A and B are shown apart, each in its own frame.
Chain A
């Protein structure tokens, strides 16, 4: 134990900027490592052949044409909610209420479909649905926003609470509008007249949603990166004091951005009710309001990268349920694999920012 041998085995130091190919090599090896780990866990725990599991995961998304469309639809909806939370996140305002804001949007859309069905022509119903669901989502976000701007309340808790209110509200209306009586469900709305159903493009039920979200994604990217509003959002997010110093009205930016966030959530609810499901349930948003947080963070709040991250999360989710059905495994096993993969991908960020210096081998010899 003399002093010479006490040099630490490794120490950590910060990296300078990495060239893009090394960054991608690190990310790529993280995914490879994840797959390897998943394989080991699978064979150890279930005794199944890991390669069959991988094939099953892949088939969950690409197995049939129909599955592929479902994949695209799910990506679109997740991306839509993620795009909604991103402006708020860029402002360091943690809107965790996307679930509730989307639900309220969906509720407004369903209300229009049910209440206006026989009073207005179909196109007018659709216009009403669009207007009211977007307004409803925005209003649901405006409440915590105004409180934050006025009294500096904590938006994270506030938006989170608003989710429960929204869920209970929807549950209530599901009973009010139940059909058939006693079922406690709304069922398909206007199944015969199809009033308030969004048109389908070609024969693809999901194509409209996908196109709308694709356009939204590009618009959001431009808004955040090139508009004056987007610039204000970034400045407020980085430092409120700097924003005040240059005369940005911080309160106004907070409320405006949260309104936008809520409005896009409302749109997501509208698409779910009017275009995809034609019904309303308290679980229609399916946790996307929370998954969106991860999508947005993983993509570092960049709308274009979010296409990739939402694909990743949807792909893994679909794969998990495919494993569950094919192998008779518990669905939770799929979730374990998803967890392992996400752990590796998020963990690789560390190696993008830091490098580990090992003790020189020469020193080991003596």
Chain B
């Protein structure tokens, strides 16, 4: 099917970290003029494999050839010399320097910023990038920073580009722009690898997919000749259904009533402006919005972690009595008998302690219980074991520090702890961010279980497809204000997308 010479071949590549075998005799071919999507669940070894190609890790065994010649890549510099450039998830730019300065940073030879800026403009024109070479990095949006990273790699003459989950930080519009640029580069004869686990991106962008599972190479095929279902099955290792349940809410009652909530951040910028809504028991209220539209502040205000300028957040008991939550810290809220659970966006920086083991992390919520001066170690350990068993957390033991677990397992531990206290309100922020399909569906199931138990679930999400399938009602935020609340059933992506960018979603001004 392919008579082209592979730009890169990787043969029998293995790499282990301690006792973990991250890559096990992986084969991979990368061709010029083609976009290859590297697919796999969390921890399947995609990033490790690409890091070996870009000189960050050195393989334990295996051979790499570039254009048919065997090579040894010992450092990122070696990779650059071979024309391999990688754009990482976390950008490596100096904030106080301009785009041009960042691009030429570390290059040998005479420093000629003007010439460099000219060359950058040429690159931008050739592929349709939108970068001002003289703009400082701290002034740039996330997508502009990403563009600088790509330009940096191209400037150094890379013709094999690797992008590690490039769309995780982008809005839908920015993603479209990036894809257009990538297609231009492909047509220019460059070899492009993108690591992702978003299936629809694979379908619209890539020419070929290669799939890893548990560090092993499963196979590759032309994107046009496969389906999302087939790819997912190969990724997960067994057949999965891609539908999310949405049981009808049973006996919904007002649970949390937010009125006129207004929040300014530490710099005095308005993050939430007069937000009012009601969350009901037994339903999932989805919150949509471009990232940074006030989702974080909204959840943290309800959880008692965010100073609020004005407004009220009322908790309504089953008997109709109301209690104000604002102005109380999480401890007070807990002492009032309000069982409120919160799965924050920053799992290891806020929800859990990375260096503590599973059972010590279970203790975070419960360690104050009892009058003894000493902590009770038994019940957190029992809880940890229950969570590991029920949610199928893969961990060597409950004595393992949680930072050593993969993203999906970390999230299971956090969600497991938060639902263990039988909450009446469950707040979740980006509960499936960075999780593979299997783990994501586990989380959706857990949320649905909570919902049928009568919990008021508030689900802040970024994937509109999921929000539309999972949520009973969707509240759309736009620049800190409520753009509208619509029923999840029957809502369309276009409708919600409009509301995210314009108050009320009206298409005409």
**B347, closest chain A residue (CB):** A242
Are B365 and A238 neighbours in the complex by a CB distance under 8 Å?
Answer: no
| CB of A14 closer than 8 Å to a CB of B | yes
Across the interface, which residues of B come within 8 angstroms of A17, CB to CB? 18
User: Contacting chain B: which of A39-47, A149-157, A224-232, A313-321?
Assistant: A224-232
> Is A13 on the interface with B (CB-CB < 8 A)?
yes
Stretch at the interface among B64-72, B165-173, B183-191: B64-72
Alpha-carbon gap, A97 to B346, bound state (A): 34
**Distance, CA A141 to CA B16, complexed state (A):** 47
Q: Which of B333-352 contact A (CB under 8 A)?
A: 333-334, 342, 344, 346, 349-352
Known: A227-B373, A227-B375. A241 touches B349 (CB 8 A): yes
A234 at the interface (CB under 8 A from B): yes
Contact A239 B349 (CB under 8 A): yes
Q: Within the assembled complex, what's the spacing in Å between the Cα atoms of A244 and B355?
A: 17
A4-12, A107-115, A204-212: which lies at the B interface? A4-12
CB B16 to nearest CB in A, in angstroms, measures 8
Which residues of A lie under 8 Å from residue B377 when comparing CB positions?
226
Q: Is the CB of B346 within 8 A of A241?
A: yes
Q: Does B363 contact A (CB under 8 A)?
A: yes
A235 CA / B352 CA spacing, docked (Å): 9
| Residue count of chain B within 8 Å CB distance of chain A | 43
- In angstroms, Cα B361 to Cα A238, docked, is 12
B422 interface hit (Cβ, 8 Å): no
Contacts of A244 in B (CB 8 A): 305, 329-330
Q: Is A242 within 8 A of B373, CB to CB?
A: no
Cβ-based interface call for A357 (8 A): yes
Determine if A227 and B374 form an interchain contact, defined as CB atoms under 8 angstroms apart. Answer: yes
| With known contacts A6-B72, A15-B18, A228–B375 Cβ distance under 8 A | yes
What chain B residues lie within 8 Å of A13 (beta carbons)?
16-17, 60
Within 8 A of B (CB), among A1-32: 3-4, 6-8, 11, 13-17
Q: Is the CB of A247 within 8 A of B330?
A: yes
Is A215 in the interface zone, CB < 8 Å from B? no
Q: Does residue B356 face the partner (Cβ distance < 8 Å to A)?
A: yes
A245 interfacial contact with B, CB 8 Å: yes
Interface string of B1-42 (1 = CB under 8 A from A): 000000000000000111110000000000000000000000
- Complex Cα–Cα for A7 and B375 (A): 53
Known contacts being A8-B58, A11-B58, A16-B19, is A245 close to B350, with CB within 8 Å?
Answer: yes
User: Which residues of chain B have C-beta atoms less than 8 A from A15's C-beta?
Assistant: 18
Contact assessment for B334 and A247 in the assembled complex, using a CB-CB cutoff below 8 Å? yes
**Does A65 count as interface, using CB distance less than 8 angstroms?**
no
Query: Per-residue 0/1 for B52-90: is the Cβ within 8 Å of any A Cβ (1 yes, 0 no)?
Result: 000000101000000001111010000000000000000
Give which listed residue, B20, B70, B329, B375, contacts A231 with CB less than 8 A.
Answer: B375
User: Which residues from A are CB-within-8-Å of B332?
Assistant: 247
A228 to B344, CA, bound (A): 24
Check A7/B72 contact, CB under 8 A, given A242-B364, A245-B330.
Answer: yes
Residue from B18, B58, B71, B344 in contact with A245 in the complex, judged by beta carbons closer than 8 Å: B344
Q: Which residues of B contact A227 (CB under 8 A)?
A: 373-375
Question: B353 at interface (Cβ–Cβ under 8 A)?
Answer: yes
**Is A246 interfacial (CB 8 A cutoff)?**
yes
Q: Is the CB of B305 within 8 A of A235?
A: no
Please report the C-alpha to C-alpha distance between residue A246 and residue B71 in the assembled complex, in whole angstroms: 52
Q: Are B356 and A241 in contact (CB under 8 A)?
A: no
| Structural contact, A8 and B375, CB atoms closer than 8 A | no
**Nearest-neighbor residue (CB-CB) of B19 within chain A:** A16
Closest chain A CB from B373 CB (angstroms):
5
Are A235 and B353 touching (Cβ within 8 A)?
Answer: yes
B334 to A, closest residue via Cβ:
A247
CA distance A228 to B370 in the complex (A): 10
Q: How far is the CB of B394 from chain A (nearest CB, A)?
A: 16
> What residue of chain A has the Cβ atom nearest to residue B17's Cβ?
A14
A16-B19, A238-B353, A238-B355 are contacts. A245–B342 as well, Cβ < 8 Å?
Answer: yes
- Decide: A3 and B70 in contact? CB cutoff 8 A: yes
Total count of chain A residues near the partner, CB < 8 A = 31
Residue of A nearest to B18 (CB): A16
Query: By CB atoms of chain A within 10 A, which of B19, B365, B367, B372 has the most?
Result: B367
Shortest distance from the beta carbon of B451 to any chain A beta carbon, whole Å: 23
Bound CA–CA A235/B360 (angstroms): 10
Kindly list chain A residues whose C-beta atoms are within 8 Å of the C-beta of B266: none
| B92 close to A (CB within 8 Å) | no
Q: A4-B70, A235-B364, A247-B331 are in contact. Are A242 and B352 (CB under 8 A)?
A: yes
Asked whether B356 lies within 8 Å of A8 as measured between CB atoms, the reply is no
Chain B's closest residue to A230 (CB) is B375
Cα–Cα, bound, A169→B424 (Å): 59
Over the window 282-304 of chain B, the binary record of Cβ atoms lying under 8 Å from chain A Cβ atoms (1 yes, 0 no) is 00000000000000000000011
- A279 smallest CB distance to B (angstroms): 38
Chain B nearest CB from A239 CB (Å) reads: 6
In the bound complex, residues from chain B placing their C-beta under 8 Å from that of A248 are: 331
B322 within 8 A of A: no
Q: Are A3 and B72 in contact (CB under 8 A)?
A: yes
Instruction: Pick the contact of A8: B74, B346, B372 (CB < 8 A).
Output: B74
Judge whether B310 is part of the interface by a CB distance below 8 angstroms.
no
Taken together as a complex, chains A and B put the C-alpha atoms of A179 and B123 apart, in Å, by 83
Q: Is B364's CB under 8 angstroms from A246's CB?
A: yes
Q: Are A242 and B20 in contact (CB under 8 A)?
A: no
B16, B331, B350, B351, most chain A CB atoms within 10 A: B350
Structural contact, A242 and B375, CB atoms closer than 8 A: no
Judge whether A246 and B330 touch: CB under 8 Å: yes
A15 to B20, CA, bound (A): 10
Complex: how many Å from CA A295 to CA B432?
44
- Check B119 for interface membership: any CB of A closer than 8 A: no
Q: Beyond A3-B72, A4-B70, A6-B74, is A245–B351 a contact (Cβ under 8 Å)? A: yes
Minimum CB–CB distance from B371 to chain A (whole Å) comes to: 10
B368 at the interface (CB under 8 A from A): yes
**Could you tell me the distance between the alpha carbons of A246 and B369 in the complex, rounded to whole angstroms?**
13
A242 and B350 form a contact (CB under 8 A): yes
10 closest A-B pairs by CB? A16-B18, A247-B331, A247-B330, A16-B19, A11-B58, A238-B353, A6-B72, A241-B350, A246-B364, A226-B374
Task: Name 21 A/B residue pairs within 8 A (Cβ), A-sorted.
Answer: A3-B69, A3-B71, A3-B72, A8-B74, A13-B16, A226-B374, A226-B377, A229-B373, A231-B367, A234-B353, A235-B356, A238-B354, A239-B353, A241-B349, A242-B349, A242-B364, A244-B305, A245-B305, A245-B342, A245-B344, A249-B329
Q: Which residues of A contact B (CB under 8 A)?
A: 3-4, 6-8, 11, 13-17, 226-232, 234-235, 238-239, 241-242, 244-249, 357
Query: Apart from A228-B368, A231-B360, what 4 extra A-B contacts exist at CB < 8 Å?
Result: A226-B375, A227-B374, A242-B350, A248-B331
